């Protein structure tokens, strides 16, 4: 039986409130199966566009979701990217917000973001790097700041690696096949052209939703098998990125 968690990315006061209200409904229904990735100081023009800053309405919604036992995560700093030229842990994207920065700079960014969300009344349960792009310095900072769970990785189960618990994210749709019994569905909710947003979970009888707390409580040790999982998926993404670049040419 495949186990799934639901993750919503790029949440900020600039998110459409129709979407946020739908997420509130999802959190009430699916509780501890829902992970919310919140940007503390969003300056991403692709997210902001012409959207208004919903201010307190957004933060009140996040508090509501937290009270429903959904899980709040720190999603970077400003969600502003540059081209990545440094070695990263997960080779998914060529853009980054953290890779290559000195440890003290990353610590300042992550600490400010964490402190800000905590001031809003949110408890940070995990970290999720924008574009999945992070390096060894990022890991060191997370441990220093006592953030011991990351929503990312290609492991079969929630795995303890580098002193961090990694909750695997290997699929962007619930219908996508993945290796191993556990994965996270990564959603980037957007308003439809005709307005509104409706979330529909499509899982089959070979899948079930699981609990974030249960998964991190049962985290397994890093083994040769998990190393093979990690390397296999890493290679797949490297090849995919190469082919995508080649096809564009």
Q: For 230-242, how does the pLDDT look when each residue is reduced to its tens digit (9 = 90+)? A: 888 888 877 877 7
What global pTM score does this model have? 0.92
pLDDT of residue 172: 80
pLDDT of residue 124: 98
Classify 190 as helix, strand or coil. coil
At residue 244, does pLDDT exceed 80?
no
Regarding beta strands 159-161 and 220-221, do their DSSP bridges make them parallel or antiparallel, or are they unpaired? parallel
pLDDT-derived band at 193 (thresholds 50, 70, 90) equals: low
Q: Mean pLDDT over residues 237-249, rounded? A: 67
Please tell me the total number of residues recorded for the chain in this structure: 249
At residue 245, does pLDDT exceed 70?
no
At residue 120, does pLDDT exceed 80?
yes
3-state SS string over the chain?
Answer: CEEEEEEEEEECCCCCHHHHHHHHHHHHHHHHHEEEEECCCCCCHHHHCCCCCCCHHHHHHHHHHHHCCCEEEECCCCCCCEECCCCCCCCCCCEECCCCCCHHHHHHHHHHHHHHHHHCCCCCCEECCHHHCCCHHHHHHHHHCCCCEEECCCCCCCEEECCEEEECCCECCCCCCCCCCEEEEEECCCCCCCCCCCCCCCCCCCEEECCHHHHHHCCEECCHHHHHHHHHHHHHHHHHHHHHHHHHC
pLDDT of residue 86: 82
8 Å CB contact between 98 and 76 = yes
pLDDT of residue 194: 56
CATH of region 2-248:
3.20.20
């Amino acid at each position: 039986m495949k186990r799934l968690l639901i993750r919503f990315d790029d949440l900020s006061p600039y998110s459409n409130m129709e979407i946020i209200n739908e997420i509130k409904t999802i959190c009430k229904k699916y509780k501890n199966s829902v992970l919310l990735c919140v940007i503390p100081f969003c300056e991403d023009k692709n997210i902001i566009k012409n959207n208004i800053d919903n201010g307190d309405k957004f933060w009140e919604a996040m508090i509501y979701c937290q009270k429903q036992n959904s899980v709040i995560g720190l999603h970077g700093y400003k969600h502003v990217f540059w081209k990545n030229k440094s070695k990263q842990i997960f080779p998914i994207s060529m853009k980054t917000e953290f890779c290559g920065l000195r440890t003290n700079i990353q610590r300042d960014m992550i600490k400010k973001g964490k402190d800000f969300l905590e001031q809003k009344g949110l408890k940070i349960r995990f970290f999720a790097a924008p574009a999945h792009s992070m390096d060894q310095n990022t890991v060191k900072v997370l441990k220093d700041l006592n953030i011991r769970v990351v929503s990312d990785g290609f492991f079969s189960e929630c795995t303890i690696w580098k002193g961090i618990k990694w909750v695997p994210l290997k699929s962007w749709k619930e219908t996508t096949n993945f290796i191993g019994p556990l994965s996270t569905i990564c959603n980037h909710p957007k308003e439809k052209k005709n307005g509104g947003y409706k979330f529909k979970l499509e899982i089959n009888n070979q899948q079930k939703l699981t609990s974030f707390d249960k998964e991190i409580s049962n985290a397994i040790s890093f083994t040769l098998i998990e190393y093979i999982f990690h390397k296999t998926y890493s290679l797949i993404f490297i090849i995919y990125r190469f082919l995508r670049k080649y096809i564009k040419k």
